[in-house]
């Protein structure tokens, strides 16, 4: 078993959440979800057949048994922890002259016909699944490019219950005139 220090948003998970997730895992295990016939289950059964003492035999490698106080553990985590974040937000998005990617258009400034519709166009790190966010950006960007519409801001219809609606305008139009729920 390996226990490591991963850098996450400390407001994202609290002890009760971790405890609840672990209890849920134990319940699923007790209900036999681990007994399905797939390669992972076969591996789990092989591990179960190993001598129990060998399976649980461990030695602390890092940070070492000398690292016991909260301060020592915190220092170890700061110096050895790693992020699970994937690279994103590498192009500056916005409407000013320093922006590499236009917020409303996803156009790469300075190169005609080039658009950025991947994780590099995200203005700030997301705490959600990065893949889902990138797929959404790519789909919206592709739809805007193919239809000649430009993305230009948040929804404007407060009565609409569909949270996926977009305000759009034609690329050649000076003002946003059309609101469409998708």
The domains of the chain are located at: 6-83, 93-180
pLDDT at position 84 is 63
Q: How many CB atoms lie within 10 A of CB 171?
A: 14
Q: What is the pLDDT of residue 179?
A: 47
**Could you tell me which of 103, 105, 101, 119 has the C-alpha nearest to residue 150?**
105
Tell me the CA distances in angstroms from 74 to 1, 4, 5, 43, 101, one per residue in order.
21, 12, 10, 35, 39
More confident site: 18 or 53: 18
- The residue that leads in pLDDT, 99 or 179, is 99
Residue 18 has pLDDT above 70, yes or no: no
pTM score of the predicted model: 0.40
Mean pLDDT of the chain: 65
pLDDT of 51 strictly over 80: no
């Amino acid at each position: 078993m390996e226990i490591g220090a991963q850098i996450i948003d400390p407001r994202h998970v609290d002890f009760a959440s971790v405890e609840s997730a672990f209890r849920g895992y134990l319940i699923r295990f007790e209900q036999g979800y681990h007994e399905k016939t797939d390669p992972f289950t076969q591996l789990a059964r092989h591990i179960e057949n190993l001598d129990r003492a060998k399976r649980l035999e461990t030695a602390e490698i890092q940070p070492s048994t000398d690292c016991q106080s909260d301060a020592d553990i915190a220092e170890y985590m700061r110096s050895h922890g790693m992020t699970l974040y994937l690279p994103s937000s590498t192009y500056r998005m916005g409407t000013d002259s320093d922006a590499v990617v236009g917020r409303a258009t996803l156009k790469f400034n300075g190169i005609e016909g080039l658009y950025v519709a991947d994780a590099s166009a995200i203005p700030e790190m997301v705490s959600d699944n990065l893949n889902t966010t990138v797929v959404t950006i790519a789909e919206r960007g592709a739809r805007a490019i193919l239809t000649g519409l430009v993305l230009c801001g948040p929804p404007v219809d407060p009565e609409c219950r569909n949270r996926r609606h977009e305000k759009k305008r034609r690329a050649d139009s000076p003002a946003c005139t059309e609101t469409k729920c998708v």
